[in-house]
Amino acid sequence: MSTKPTNSIDTFINPHPERNYEIRMDCPEFTCLCPLTGQPDFAQILVNYVPNELCVELKSLKMYLWHFRDRGAFHEAVTNEIASHLVETLKPRKLEVKAVFGRRGGIDTTIVVTHPDQ
């Protein structure tokens, strides 16, 4: 397993695909760059999903999120990109990605992406 940033997410077989259960992951140290100023943006990424056949391997998720560290990205774009990649990789029954970004210009921003769309 890599210890460097990567744009892929590893998975493992769901041990109980016959059951609906929720997996919640809290990633409090997400960073990316403001695409306009180049200054760092800090966020807490919360991922909740009901797995189908596959589950996320946690260290690979950490390395995946790390690859955004030096990229400029609007909050909305990066949150949707993470959600799309997870949906494509896992094909979950249900998924929510919530990004709670730190204050910028006196404004707190939270982006929530759901699958299937609600």
The torsion of the CA quartet 50, 83, 67, 10, rounded to 10 degrees, works out to: 40
Q: Order of strands across the sheet with 94-104? A: 23-33, 40-50, 94-104, 107-115
Cα-trace Rg, the chain: 14
Active-site residues: which are they? 34, 41
